[in-house]
Amino acid sequence: MREDWIDCTFEDLLDYEQPTKYIVKEEDYNDKYPTPVLTAGKGFIKGYTKENFGIFDNLPTIIFDDFTTASQFVNFRFKVKSSAMKILLPKSNLVNIKFVFGAMQVNKVRSETHKRYWISEFSKISFGLPPLSEQRAIVKKIEQLFSALDASITDLKKAQEQLKIYRQAVLKKAFEGELLEVDFESLGKAIDPQPSHRTPPVDPNGIAYVSIKDVVNDNIELSSARLVSKKILEEHLERYKLKEGDFIIGKIGTIGNPVKVKLPQSYTLSANVVLIQPGKINPNYLYYYFKSNYVEQQFNSGKKATTQSAFGIQKVRRLIIRYPECSEHQNQIVKEIESRLSVCDAVEQQIKTSLDKAEALRQSILKKAFAGALLTQGELEACRKEPDYEPASVLLEKIKAEKQTGNKKTEKEKAILSAKPAVTATVKISADIQAGLIAKVIRLHEDNTKHHTLLTHVKCEKLSHLVEYHLQIPLGRQPMKDAAGPDDYPRLKKVEHRAKMAGYFSVQKNKIGHTYVSGKGIEKAITQFEKNLSEEQKQQVDKLLHLFLTFDLEQAEIVATVYAAWNNLLILGKNKPTDQEIVQEARYNWSDRKLGLEEQRFYKAIEWMQKDTINLVPTGYGTLVDFPKKKK
């Protein structure tokens, strides 16, 4: 551990709250309603509720399951499924909750009792805490690496789904054409376990009692099966005598999917499976037919809508099987199926291997991050130059002192403190910089006369915001939420005054709003602005200005407002805000004037900004754009 790190525990950084007033009963779930109901495990959104009271919204937070030790980072309003959840909250505005959540993923111990697990064990786990600036850098790098990893995983899972579609296409083609159609019971047997076998006595030296839960990836995994008395097999030897080509199907859950049994293993069967014994038909032909949609459709016909599918033995016996009477024809169809599906199997295994490697890489990234080995030396040096850098020992003492004095700040104050400033406070930015940028906008519109009427000082202010926040070129602005979007008009007035005095350009009043008129010194302003930029930055600025050339005032306003609102959500810890959340912030949480703009225009702006050719997606850079402390 480096000297500026310190050991701490989760309880040093986090408080917890019991979720009593946030619990929703399962019978009250309804997908039509907006508020999600959460648990901390896999698929952690368990449903939705119409309840609009008792909703947890002190965000962001972590929910922790006292029984499974699973945890989830949450940045949206929610209710919970059960009292097993603990809601974890930072003790101080100096706690980076995303960093703490990451540390929870790599510092786990198991409990035998699971009772009050957070209080008794997990909260007391010790781990390394770096300085706050390094925590931010670690979180940012993890998110960057995970973003690329998630994209790869998404592609792999999409390929898996495409393989499923291809498999069914192969089976559909195989069973098309002029074939005989007969009831299954004329071709084989469907054997249902007798009631006396449904609760067999356990026997350490017995035979495998196979249930649907023992089926894993189209195989019977006997490692999880119970062993029961051999007398059951002896009493019903003929009934359970297995033959080559036999398979079982499940009667509940994912119904109908066939799984081959392996000889000479002996089994007895649970009540939730059916043993299929082919007779006057090629066993493999029948097996593949059961895997096709032809059988699934028959099982599903007339099925009532319930939470768990099920069927009786008679439905199996009445299944219509389509097959060629000639055994050679059956053999040929099986051969054609297997030649194609064997390729699928090989690709499937490659995908599974790649997914396993991706998960291993994810764990490796986390392990390196929280061992202090993820950041490069250059990145660490940059962390030490941040204004709030201090050793973690000092940070931890401040957190403890802040908790004792009860000095809690609002989420917006936290965001303002923890966000990376757009311009270092000690650096004074000349008004000539923004004046030079505006001069470039003026020159571009003058060179494209058919668009000159679209030039306004509002449009220039919106472009200034994107240059400063998206291209990260400091202009000295301190933007606030204004009716027309993210603006710093006091700063703009100074820039306009400087431009007029220096002869760069002047302000001209129109019937509606204001525009600019170039002066004799406009080229000088542009030159002074560009001399501080790299070639790459010059190209980026030119691209951005050309993107907005054909925009009128409202179009520029909507894009800049959406950008600022989206960036605000990132700064506040919402890693992947939904389009709905962005529009909520940009239209409903901004200014009443925005309600006069059609909502769909905001969604279209988000779609446009995400295009590869546009790429105006924010990164959480800069400070929070908030309402002014005093109304203008």
Give Cα separations from 124 to 10, 11, 109, 128 (angstroms).
Answer: 6, 6, 11, 13
Percent of the chain residues past pLDDT 90, beyond the cut: 53
Q: Write the CB contacts of 539 (distance below 8 Å, at least 6 apart in sequence).
A: none
Position 423 scores a pLDDT of 43
Number of residues that this document lists for the chain: 632
Please give the structure tokens belonging to residue 247: 């398979």
Specify the pLDDT at position 496.
95
| Distance from C-alpha of 147 to C-alpha of 151, rounded to nearest angstrom | 6
- Secondary element (H or E) of residue 286: helix 283-291
pLDDT at 304: 52
Sheet holding 35-38: strands in order across?
45-49, 35-38, 79-80
pLDDT band (50, 70, 90) for residue 265: low
pLDDT of residue 631: 45
Contact 69, 122 (CB under 8 A): yes
Higher pLDDT, 367 or 305: 367
Alpha-carbon Rg of the chain, whole angstroms? 33
Question: 79 pairs with which residues across the strands?
Answer: 37
pLDDT at 173 over 80: yes
Q: What is the pLDDT of residue 14?
A: 95
Q: Which token pair is 558?
A: 């909507």
Determine the pLDDT at residue 487: 94
Q: Please check the confidence at residue 537 and state whether its pLDDT lies above 50.
A: yes
Q: What is the pLDDT of residue 260?
A: 87
Q: Is the pLDDT of residue 416 over 50?
A: no
pLDDT at res. 254? 60
Cα–Cα–Cα angle for 516, 521, 527, rounded to 5 degrees: 100
Question: Which residue's structure tokens are 């499974």?
Answer: 68
Kindly report the number of other CB atoms within 10 A of residue 538's CB atom: 13
Question: Taking the mean position of all CA atoms in its chain, how far away is CA 323?
Answer: 46
DSSP for 479-534? -EEETTEEE-HHHHHHHHHHHHHHTSEEEEE-SSSEEEEE-TTHHHHHHHHHTTS-
Residue 418 in this model has a pLDDT that exceeds 50: no
What's the token pair of residue 72?
């989830």
Write b or e for each residue in 336-359: b if 16 or more Cβ atoms lie within 10 A of its Cβ, otherwise e.
Answer: ebeebbeeeeeebeebeeeeeeee
> In percent, how much of the chain has pLDDT > 70?
85
Cα separations (Å) of 351 from 41, 338, 345, 357, 362? 25, 19, 10, 10, 16
Apex 248 CA angle, 245 and 250, nearest 5: 160
Q: Residue 426: its pLDDT value, please?
A: 39
Q: Tell me the average pLDDT across 234-244.
A: 64
DSSP state of 613: T
**pLDDT given for residue 220 in this prediction:** 77
Given a cut of 90, whether residue 387 has pLDDT beyond it is no
35 pLDDT higher than 90? no
With vertex at residue 290, the alpha carbon angle to CA 288 and CA 293, rounded to the nearest 5 degrees, is: 100
442 CB neighbour count, 10 Å cutoff: 24
What does the pLDDT read at residue 525?
Answer: 95
> How high is the pLDDT of residue 161?
92
Query: Is-above-0.85 flag for pTM?
Result: no
pLDDT score for 230: 67
User: Which tokens belong to 253?
Assistant: 């859950």
Q: For 139-166, how does the pLDDT look when each residue is reduced to its tens digit (9 = 90+)?
A: 999 999 998 899 999 999 999 999 999 9
Q: 626: closest CA among 410, 386, 407?
A: 410
* Average pLDDT rounded to a whole number, residues 548-568: 95
- Of residues 413 and 511, which shows the higher confidence score? 511
Asked if the model's pLDDT at residue 382 lies above 80, the reply is yes
Residue 119's pLDDT is: 84
Residue 379 has pLDDT above 80, yes or no: yes
Q: Is 173 helix (H, G, I), strand (E, B) or coil?
A: helix
**What DSSP character marks residue 596?**
G
**pLDDT at residue 582 greater than cutoff 70:** yes
pLDDT at 221: 73
Mean pLDDT for all residues in the chain: 85
Give a three-class secondary structure readout of 413-446.
Answer: HHHHHHCCCCCCCCCCCCHHHHHHHHHHHHHHHH
Task: For residues 180-207, give the mean pLDDT.
Answer: 74
pLDDT digits (tens, 9 = 90+) for 323-366: 999 999 999 999 999 999 999 999 999 999 999 999 999 999 99
- What 3-state DSSP class applies to 121? coil
CB 482 within 8 A of CB 590: no
- CA dist 270 and 89 (Å) reads 46
When pLDDT is cut at 50, 70 and 90, the band that residue 305 belongs to is very low
Average pLDDT over residues 538-546: 95
Instruction: Tell me how many degrees the CA angle 26-57-609 measures, rounded to the nearest 5.
Output: 105
Question: What pLDDT does residue 56 have?
Answer: 87
Q: What is the pLDDT of residue 54?
A: 72
Per-residue pLDDT band at 127 (split at 50, 70, 90): very high
What does the alpha-carbon distance between residue 240 and residue 267 come to, in Å, rounded to a whole number? 7
Position 371 confidence tier, pLDDT thresholds 50, 70, 90: very high
378: buried, middle or exposed (CB in 10 Å: 19+, 13-18, 0-12)? exposed
pLDDT band (50, 70, 90) for residue 238: low
Cα(328)–Cα(336) distance, rounded to whole angstroms? 12
Confidence of residue 196 (pLDDT cuts 50, 70, 90): very low
Cβ contact 75:60 at 8 Å: yes
Confirm if 177 and 313 have CB atoms less than 8 A apart: no
Residue 576's pLDDT is: 82
Does residue 224 carry a pLDDT above 70? no
Between 23-32, 127-136, 189-198, 299-308, the lowest mean confidence (pLDDT) is in: 299-308
Placement of tokens 């009786």 in the chain: 312
